[in-house]
Amino acid sequence: MSLTVYLSEISLHVVYDRNITHNLRDMAKAANIYLILWQPEEWGITKASELISPLEEGLNKLRSDPEKFKKFNVANGGGTYKDFVAFVEDYLNACKKHPNATVNATVEVSR
């Protein structure tokens, strides 16, 4: 299972998309950003600008105590602290670059 996030602008033109493994959900929960990443619509988040502050806070938490978050690394290498920090940084930068973009998050299940 994984999360794919999309930012789109006028006429649904996708300006950003990125995927991250759902194996990192516990790390996201510990950084208090799981719900805004995986379920933004449930928080009323529709625009990228609304993600900037929570993503900044989550990224600061992640960076403030790397050892705490590295404990959530997936044993088989299927998701690491380094991967998740890079994902959050990249998504945050995209939100800043495209603040009026519409937020879409799709959970994908692989079988």
pLDDT in tens, 18-33: 889 989 999 999 999 9
Can you give the residue range of the structural domain that contains 49? 2-108
Q: Nearest to residue 15, comparing CAs of 107, 103, 108? A: 103
Q: What is the DSSP string of 19-56?
A: EEEGGGHHHHHHTT-HHHHH-GGGGT--BTHHHHHHHH
Six token digits for residue 28: 């996201």
Please state, as a whole number, how many other Cβ atoms lie within 10 Å of the Cβ of residue 50. 17
User: What is the pTM for the complete model shown?
Assistant: 0.86
Q: What pLDDT was estimated at residue 78?
A: 85
**For the chain, which residues score pLDDT lower than 70?**
1, 9-12, 107-111
CB 104 within 8 A of CB 8: yes
Q: 53 is written with which tokens?
A: 């502050």
Q: How many domains does the chain have?
A: 1
